Amino acid sequence: MATAVKMPQLGESVVEGTIARWLKAPGDPIDKLEPLLEITTDKIDTEIPSPAAGTLLTIVAAEGETVAVGGILAHIGEAGEQWESGAVASEVGVRPVAPRGAVDSDTLAASSDQERSMKPSGRDFISPVVARIAREHEIDLNEVTGTGLGGRVTKKDVLAFVASEGARPTPGAVSPTPAAQASSGHDGTRNTENPDETLQPLSAMRRAIAQHMVLSKQTSPHVTSVYEVDATAIVRHREANRQLFAAKGITLTYTPYFVAAVAAGLREVPIANSRFTESGIVVNRRIHIGVAVSLEEGLIVPVLRDADEKNLQGLARAVNEVATAARRGRLAADATQGGTFTITNHGVTGSLLGTPIINQPQSGILGIGTIAKRAVVRSESSSLLPSADDAIVIRPVCYLSFSFDHRVLDGATADRFMAIVKAKLETYPAA
């Protein structure tokens, strides 16, 4: 009996997924737990293993289709095995892609008639994801060319429309000339008028990042406050303890120290752990800190939940785990959801100072610059005038940049939060 491949529950809050890529074609043999397809939800691509061994009999949901959790994606069974194609198709609103010779044309026609009578299809079928994107960008879906079955508008179609049209043409905009339109190659990657230019199509991750960053800038009035931090205390602690952590299989980086300091600041200044709504400011009682992880194709922000309840070892282990999972494409689909504050350590590549963009709908994000030795002045005197007590010393120093939503935080409150973060780092216990 054929085994149905269903859309898995990829996270508590995930109700659907989009087929990014099939790794097998109908008629291909497959082993149990062998990668079968990739599913994408926002910025995360998840590889789905086969639930059974056998032959891929049919693909029900094509690439680009959005399917609810529990919906049928494909069937696996013995080569030549028959299945109820019409019933399968009706569950997801698409026609199965059958292997050669498995089903005759009359059977496919009958199943197609049954499908149309049971569920909207073609342009009449709009998935929740497509409807949401169209609503957010005020798009008339009648203007979007659908590439799905029967002209159905898929998520890929509507995102491409947003990218190419900006959702709404600007008044007075000049239409591209025929020469300009002809400048792209047939594959859309080469500008034939200027051989020195190459067009790189947007990946799903890059498109999502672009949309999210533009949305954030349009939503929140950003203000950035910069603090200089003497990192001597955390550098000494790390040097003294990283071998102990390594013996437990944990790589001790500086990021956990900053997470701990931010968690302390959020506890003492709860308004920094909030989000703005038209009804008022929603203050989060729990502290879930997102940590930006750089990937080859962009970045992703997995969340460390209840970060204030973890000690340094727990934070270090959690940072290691989410960073490794992110770079291997093994994050759970909801691993990036529910964050209340974000940290981005741009200093790992040598950057001194940055002005990060807020991760909506949060109210703040902390940028961490590189830690480097600098000559600084230390004095026992509280006066800013030169004195005999002044001394020039070498210290490991970094700059912290706090971008915050001015609708929620004022400068004085933001500075109070940053003063706590700075104090926690500069007075970190030696033991």
Nearest to 341 by CA among 297, 305, 393, 293: 305
Separation CA 302–CA 50 (nearest Å)? 26
Given a contact cutoff of 8 angstroms between Cβ atoms, the answer to whether 125 and 149 are in contact is no
Residue with tokens 């995930």: 14
Cβ-proximal residues to 306 (8 Å cutoff; 6+ apart), any chain: 286, 287, 288
- 31 catalytic residue (yes or no): no
Separation CA 209–CA 407 (nearest Å)? 23
Which of helix, strand or coil describes residue 391?
strand
Q: What b/e string do you get for 401-431 counting C-beta neighbours within 10 Å, with b at 16 or more?
A: bbbbbeebbeeeebbbbbebbbebbeebeee
Given a contact cutoff of 8 angstroms between Cβ atoms, the answer to whether 54 and 48 are in contact is no
- 410 catalytic residue (yes or no): yes
CB atoms near residue 156 (< 10 Å): 19
Which residue among 28, 306, 389, 410 is the active-site one? 410
Which residue among 137, 212, 237, 406 is the active-site one? 406
Residues designated catalytic: 406, 410
